[in-house]
Each structure stands twice: as C-alpha cells, then as structure tokens.
Amino acid sequence: MDLSFGNPAAGAWALLGIPAILAIHFLQTRSRPIAVSTLFLLDRLDPRSAGGRRWDRLRQSVPLWLQLICVLLLAWLLAQPRLLRRDPAQTVLVLLDSSVSMRAFEKPLRETLPGRLRLLERGAARTEWMLLETDPAAQRLYAGARLEGVTAALAQWRPRLGTHDFQPALRAGLTLLKGRGVLVFVTDRPVPVPPGVELLAVGRPLENAGFSGVRVTDEGWEALVRNFGAAPQRRAWHLEDRAGNRLGEDRALLLPPGGSETLKGTFAQAALRIVLDADGFAMDDALPLVRPRAKRLRVAVEGNAEPLKGWLEAFLRSEPALERGGNGLPGLRIGSFDPAAPAAATVAAKPAVAPVPGVLFAAAAGEPSGLQTGEIVAEKDPLSAGLTWAGLLVPAGAPALTPGAGDTVLLWQGDRPLLVRRGADLLVAFDFAHSNAARLPAFVLLLHRFVEAVRAAAPGPESANFETNQSFALAGAADGGLRRAPVEPGFFEAGEGDAKLTGAAHFADPRESDFQDAASVDRVEGAAKARRERSSRQDPLTPLWVLLLGGLLAANWIITERRAA
C-alpha cells in the first residue's frame, strides 16, 4: 500500500497557518505603568493592554500546541490522502511518431517524456516498457523493465519518414496490449487518436522556411524556396561544392508570409549543394543536386525498317539518351516479326546471355482492306495504366497473332491482340505503318514507358536526383537491384563498375516543413492521476480526524475564555 494525495497544493497552503500562529504567540502584552497615591484608587485592570504589543520570547502554552495540531490536521484533510493499492505489474507501450518533423522537437521530447513515464510507473509495483515507432519497417526500439533503457533508446532515435498514416501503428499497439496496459502516442501536434490511447504532443509553432521542390535539367536547376511561417523571413543562401566549399558570395532572400521564390542556376560542377541559413528545422535547409545523366541505350535496327523510317527517326530524336549504332551489344532492338509464326516454347533453363529487349512490329501484309472492328480493351499493366485508346484505328487484313503460354496481352480489339509482351520484347501485332498509332498519345507514352523500363534494367553509369528515402532500381545488382536513397539529404553512390549510380538525395515533403499547427498536448498526466484514483481509496480514518479537529478547536476556545475571565 502506498500513500498519495488528491490535492497536495491545498494541504501545502494550509501549512502556512503554522508561522502565522507562531507569530501571534510571539506578541506579548506590554504593561503600562500608572502612578497612584493609594491602592484603593486602583481600578479593575483590563487584561488586554492599551499600550500595544511587542516581540518577546515564545512562551509555551496549551493553546499554542492545540492550535498547531489543528493546523496540521486541517492540512492533512485538505490534501485528501488516499491509500494506493498498486497493481503487481503493468505494461506501458510508447509509440513515437516517425515523421521527420519530430526532429525539430528532439530536446523538449527528451526532457518531457521521461517525467511523464515516471508518473505512469507509480501505478504498479513492476512496469514492462515497450518503445516503438510508427515506421512499419523499423525494429522495436526497446523492450524491458528499466525506464533508463527507454531513455537511452530515445536518445538514439532519429525519425526518418515523411507524412504518413500512423493509425495502423496505433491499432497494432492496442492489439498488442490487449486492454491490459497503457499506450502513449508521442507526436508534435494535436491529432485524433482511438479510445485507449494517451496523447503526448511536444510541438509548438515554428517560423520555418526551406526548399519545397526542384526541377533539374542538363542545362541547370530551379529550386523553390517557401516560407511556411506566419511572419516575413529574410534568409541568406549560397552554393557549395560536394566537399562543402563555398562557391561565390551569400545572396539575400526575402519571403513574405506563406510566400515562395524560385532560385535558378547552372551546374558549374557535376555536383553542388544549395544552402539556406539554418533554422529550427534543418532537413529542408540544404538541397544537394547532381547534374543528371541518363544511361545511354544503343539501338539496333533490324530487318527492313523502310516503312518505319520517318517515325523511327522522330522517335530517336525524342529520346536523347538513345543512340543508333555504336560499338558493343545494343541495349534495344527495333525490328519486325511474323504474327503468323507460332510462339517459341518456353525454356525453363536460364540462358547464358540475357536477350536484348526489342520493339517488334508485325510484318506488313500488303495494302489494308479496311479497318478492324471491335471494342478496344486495355489490360491492367504498368505500361498501359491510365492510357486512353478510344481513337486507335487499326487496319484489317493482317494475320492475327496467337498469344503463347508466356505472353501478356496489353491491348485487345475484340478477340484480337494488338499489343503483347513476350519475354523481354514488346510486340506491335498490327499493321503499324497503315494505322494512326504514331499520332496517338497513348501509343507514344506506352513506347516511352517501355524504353524507360529497358533503360532501368540495363547496366551503365548514370547520375540522378532522388527524394530522401525514395526507392529506385539498380541494374545489374545480384539481389534484384532495389535500393533506397539515404534518409538524410546528401550525396551517395550505389553499385560499381558499369552499374554505378551517382545520386543526390534531397528532402521534399512540404507538409513536414509546416509547423503552424504544431502544439503541446499532455494527456498522460491526467491519465496517470485517473489511474491512481481508480486503484486507490480514501483514508478510512478521515471521520476520526474531523472529530479530533473539532474537539481540539473546542478545547482551545474553552481554555482561552477561562484565561480571559
């Protein structure tokens, strides 16, 4: 059993009565001499002196002790003592918001959270702690019976996600507790939480400004700087090289409330960093960039391409990273196929050399005899997603393609396949030269998507810019090539040799840079108090203390009156 107080402040104020009573008893009556000629002329003297009071030594008396005991009893009753029956064990799960905006409040978080957790710790003889974050890919930060372990793990924690939905993590936490513990969600602004979750927000509004977007070309860059605050901000910015050396002088920037401005420049070097003056949120104060360089694909044109000559030249010009001819193996083939020929049987064994992807057009079959009829339907596929094919006109008369077992049909007209994925190839299974596909935006976009997919899978050096924590594919990697950019803004390299990628990661989530709705909310203290009240009961001797206080007051009054008489 532990002792707690429901209103300790009232009890503390009541204790101020002790110095007041002592001060009163220090004041003693000062006698006033009166000269008389005979004793029978003396009047009956009033015990209270008319000459005032003076400080003297404290004289102990029964009223003094009675009054002091009354003050102590009154303070005890006003403090509302309660006897706490602590549970033998409890579980407290602390869930941290993984949004990078939490980095702006790391100090108040580490100052506030341990104290609130100590309040919860008093509710049981033994507490099991779990420290998690809303990032579904993150490991458990701490699990154990020591609050110091929670504090140590908190000191090492760094949030790394952008704006995300934390409701699944809250539901998972409640499921993990199964109604037998306390879940504390720590964030930087008031947010709706499910019942059973105690909210602790440690934020406050910040006047932040930072980069919120960038556009990079071979010629230069354009960076958007935005003021997320409610007051004008004057900032300075400069350029740095990859090693952090300044390039040129500082330049001034004045941003109105909620306003933005575009900074422009060229790549004097292959890599540079645009840097703003530091503020309370550092993630959006620096913008690393590299001059983009796409992997070049060599194109080999096979067979008779005379019917495609005009279109082919325009297509190669629209893809600056495509080059015709050159030494070495091609990265992309453009040729023809016979739609009447049966599909080759699928070979289970992996070929020694990967086939070169190609865009293959159905061989011409003479002059068209009309237009193919039937409804055009696109299958669900990343190449054809979101494209409209209603205006496609396909000649009739060409032999129809019979899909093989491993083929994926992307586009149908009636029961006739028009576009087919066969292995690494894209088959255009209609008379392209006599159709309007070359002028149809859907076909052009699909073809560019296919080329980009081929480029992404092909080995070769390249340079590119990414958002922090963005996933990308690295060609030639043994593990499939899926990578992520760093969670911190900066330069990085991935792969090696012909598959080397030079990149720059920049922060680009303006929602995380806006702190106007950040605020502090503390529902943990109230939850701890309510928890103590539910598991405690009033002092059973309270009626006795009330009777004793009344008796002492009555005794003090009687003794004082008798002395006055």
Top-confidence residue, 307 or 530: 530
Above pLDDT 90, what percent of the chain?
40
Are 425 and 301 contained in the same domain? yes
Top-confidence residue, 550 or 256: 256
The 8-class DSSP code of residue 382 comes to T
- Of 289, 312, 334, the one marking the end of a domain is 289
CB 456 within 8 A of CB 473: yes
The 8-class DSSP code of residue 175 comes to H
Rounded Cα–Cα distance for residues 559 and 450 (Å): 105
Are 108 and 173 contained in the same domain? yes
Confidence (pLDDT) at 350: 47
Spatial CA neighbour of 293 closest among 229, 217, 360: 217
Q: What is the mean pLDDT of residues 77-85?
A: 74
**For residue 14, what are the contacts with CB-CB under 8 A and spacing of at least 6?**
71, 74, 75, 78, 79
Confidence (pLDDT) at 476: 61
Are 302 and 441 contained in the same domain? yes
Cα 533 to Cα 2, 150, 452, 543: the distances in Å are 12, 26, 65, 20
Are 369 and 419 contained in the same domain? yes
Confidence (pLDDT) at 520: 94
Lowest mean pLDDT among 119-123, 133-137, 310-314: 310-314
Top-confidence residue, 269 or 354: 269
Are 441 and 328 contained in the same domain? yes
Confidence (pLDDT) at 79: 80
Rounded Cα–Cα distance for residues 1 and 86 (Å): 7
Top-confidence residue, 43 or 128: 128
Top-confidence residue, 383 or 86: 383
For residue 349, pLDDT over 50 is answered with no
E strands, 145-187, in order: 181-187
CB 125 within 8 A of CB 85: no
Strand 358-362 versus strand 332-337 pairing type: parallel
**268 lies in some domain:** yes
Number of domains the chain contains: 4
CB 208 within 8 A of CB 515: yes
Cα 394 to Cα 339, 381, 414, 420: the distances in Å are 15, 21, 12, 15
Are 435 and 335 contained in the same domain? yes
**271 lies in some domain:** yes
Domain span including residue 26: 2-83+558-564
Are 183 and 313 contained in the same domain? no
3-state secondary structure 89-107: CEEEEEEECCEHHHHHHHH
Rounded Cα–Cα distance for residues 16 and 9 (Å): 12
Rounded Cα–Cα distance for residues 284 and 524 (Å): 32
Spatial CA neighbour of 271 closest among 468, 483, 464: 464
For residue 49, pLDDT over 60 is answered with no
**500 lies in some domain:** no
- Residue 528 token pair: 């701890």
3-state secondary structure of 444: helix
Confidence (pLDDT) at 276: 94
What are the φ and ψ backbone dihedral angles of 559, each rounded to 5 degrees? -65, -40
Interior angle at CA 554, CA 550 and CA 557, nearest 5: 140
Rounded Cα–Cα distance for residues 234 and 252 (Å): 7
Are 325 and 408 contained in the same domain? yes
Rounded Cα–Cα distance for residues 404 and 73 (Å): 95
Top-confidence residue, 146 or 62: 146
Rounded Cα–Cα distance for residues 341 and 268 (Å): 55
- Of 406, 426, 457, the one marking the end of a domain is 457
Above pLDDT 70, what percent of the chain?
84
Are 310 and 429 contained in the same domain? yes
E strands, 50-188, in order: 53-55, 81-84, 90-96, 127-133, 142-144, 181-187
Q: What is the mean pLDDT of residues 558-564?
A: 75
**For residue 559, what are the contacts with CB-CB under 8 A and spacing of at least 6?**
62, 63, 66
E strands, 342-477, in order: 358-362, 376-378, 407-413, 416-422, 425-428, 462-467, 471-473
* Threshold 0.85, pTM exceeds: no
For residue 329, pLDDT over 80 is answered with no
Are 315 and 447 contained in the same domain? yes
Sign of CA dihedral 246, 247, 252, 257: negative
**470 lies in some domain:** no
CATH number at residue 200: 3.40.50.410
Cα 93 to Cα 144, 223, 232: the distances in Å are 11, 42, 41
CATH number at residue 232: 2.60.40.10
Angle between helices 62-78 and 542-564 (to 10 degrees): 150
Mean pLDDT: which of 248-257, 320-329, 345-354 is highest? 248-257
Spatial CA neighbour of 333 closest among 304, 356, 361: 356
Confidence (pLDDT) at 348: 42
Interior angle at CA 430, CA 426 and CA 431, nearest 5: 120
Interior angle at CA 421, CA 419 and CA 424, nearest 5: 140
Are 57 and 137 contained in the same domain? no
Confidence (pLDDT) at 345: 47
For all residues of the chain together, what is the average pLDDT?
A: 83
Lowest mean pLDDT among 75-84, 116-125, 432-441, 449-458: 75-84
496 pLDDT band (50/70/90 cuts)? confident
Are 104 and 189 contained in the same domain? yes
pLDDT tens digits, 151-208 = 999 999 999 998 999 999 999 999 999 878 899 999 999 999 999 899 999 999 999 9
Rounded Cα–Cα distance for residues 431 and 74 (Å): 101
**272 lies in some domain:** yes
**539 lies in some domain:** no
